[in-house]
A and B are shown apart, each in its own frame.
Chain A
Amino acid sequence: MRTQKGMSVIVKTVTKITLGFIMLYAVYISLNGHAGPGGGFAGGVIVALSFVHIMLAFGKETALKRLKSYVLRALTCAGALIFLYVAAISFKGSSNLLNIFFKKAASYRLFNSEIVLPLAEMVIVGAGLFAIFVALVLLSKPDRYDSE
């Protein structure tokens, strides 16, 4: 039943089911970093791991078709620029460094920089680590699953 590249049917089916939950958990853990354990870095690594999961289960063509290489580079650079902008503009602001869109400190508000900073960190870490994995995979020789 190995008609295409990648691992067996069982692995592919389980990957299709669990992929959305993994991405949802990554977003939750990076948005909930101010109330519980977690943060942008851990969420970003989980995003990168979910794409590594796709790549290991379906082969590298499917993963790269879903997230192209230039998109990875653009996401990394955009995340870095957004993080630099928010961090630099909050050094210049009031005594509370976290609020750039609102004046008063609040525990949970959309577009607060405690939401923007973990999101930017998640994007840069996820895209960057998956870009590193893609570069390492493409640099090596075709592996066992792709050569069949």
Chain B
Amino acid sequence: MIEIHLILFFMIAAAIIAVEAKDLLSSVVAIGGVGIGLSMAFLILKAPDLAIMQLVVEILSLVILVRATMRHDLPFSMSGRWVFNTFSTLIFIVVFLISAYAVLKNIPQLGSGLSRTSDIYMREAVAKTGIKNVVAAITLNYRLLDTLGEVAAIFASVVGVMAIARRVVRK
């Protein structure tokens, strides 16, 4: 389990670089590093479906972000109201640490402590649905309503973006 710690430290370092970098393009590249680290972490934790999804979506969002920040010198201010920002950041860090200590104490080890529902899925999914990939069996059979909601959310976001950019598209 040393690899997952290495990847987590890499992701934290990339996130700090993304916050602290003066150039916007450098920040975007560092955010891409965070996404690649997350994809590798999924791959180590034996979730290749999530790894593929995370990698592909990360590439698309990185292309859009690079395209958006490539040539515009966007206004980027680091000054002003630092007292309020520092105090609110400290308060949120304290709240997060307290709640994370209370929550993470009760989480079982990775790979153990399956719930009853996932146990049933692991035993019966292949025999009942005839699909070899249990993830696809869950998302397309047991949780079909969730998949329908996901597609509805994507469709709503597409319609929203097209409605906002409508006048320029029809030019």
B158 touches A128 (CB 8 A): yes
CB contact between B53 and one of A41, A87, A105 (< 8 Å): that residue: A41
A110 in contact (CB, < 8 A): no
B169 touches A69 (CB 8 A): yes
B133 touches A83 (CB 8 A): no
For chain A, the bracket of interface size reads: 35 or more
B59 in contact (CB, < 8 A): yes
Q: Tell me which of B85-93, B112-120, B135-143 binds A.
A: B135-143
CB-based nearest A residue for B165: A135
CB contact between A76 and one of B52, B67, B144, B158 (< 8 Å): that residue: B158
Closest chain B CB from A30 CB (angstroms): 11
How many angstroms between the C-alpha atoms of A48 and B171 in the bound complex?
A: 23
Using A87-B144, A137-B67 as known contacts, say yes or no to A124 and B151 having CB atoms under 8 A apart: yes
A91 in contact (CB, < 8 A): yes
Interface residues of A in 92-130 (CB under 8 A from B): 96-98, 105-107, 113-114, 117-118, 121, 124-125, 128-129
B59 touches A49 (CB 8 A): yes
How many angstroms between the C-alpha atoms of A8 and B84 in the bound complex?
A: 49
How many angstroms between the C-alpha atoms of A19 and B103 in the bound complex?
A: 47
How many angstroms between the C-alpha atoms of A137 and B66 in the bound complex?
A: 12
A35 in contact (CB, < 8 A): yes
How many angstroms between the C-alpha atoms of A36 and B133 in the bound complex?
A: 6
How many angstroms between the C-alpha atoms of A137 and B57 in the bound complex?
A: 18
A34 touches B132 (CB 8 A): yes
Using A52-B63, A128-B158, A131-B162 as known contacts, say yes or no to A144 and B71 having CB atoms under 8 A apart: yes
Neighbouring A residues of B157 by C-beta, 8 Å: 128, 132
Neighbouring A residues of B144 by C-beta, 8 Å: 87, 90-91, 97
Subset of 30 A-B contacts with CB under 8 Å: A33-B136, A36-B132, A37-B135, A38-B52, A42-B52, A49-B60, A80-B152, A80-B155, A87-B144, A91-B144, A91-B145, A96-B141, A98-B129, A105-B130, A106-B130, A107-B130, A107-B131, A114-B131, A121-B147, A124-B151, A128-B157, A131-B161, A131-B162, A132-B158, A132-B161, A134-B169, A135-B169, A138-B169, A139-B165, A144-B71
Interface residues of B (CB under 8 A from A): 48-49, 51-53, 56-57, 59-60, 63-64, 67-68, 70-71, 128-133, 135-137, 139-141, 144-145, 147-148, 150-152, 154-155, 157-158, 161-162, 164-165, 168-169, 171
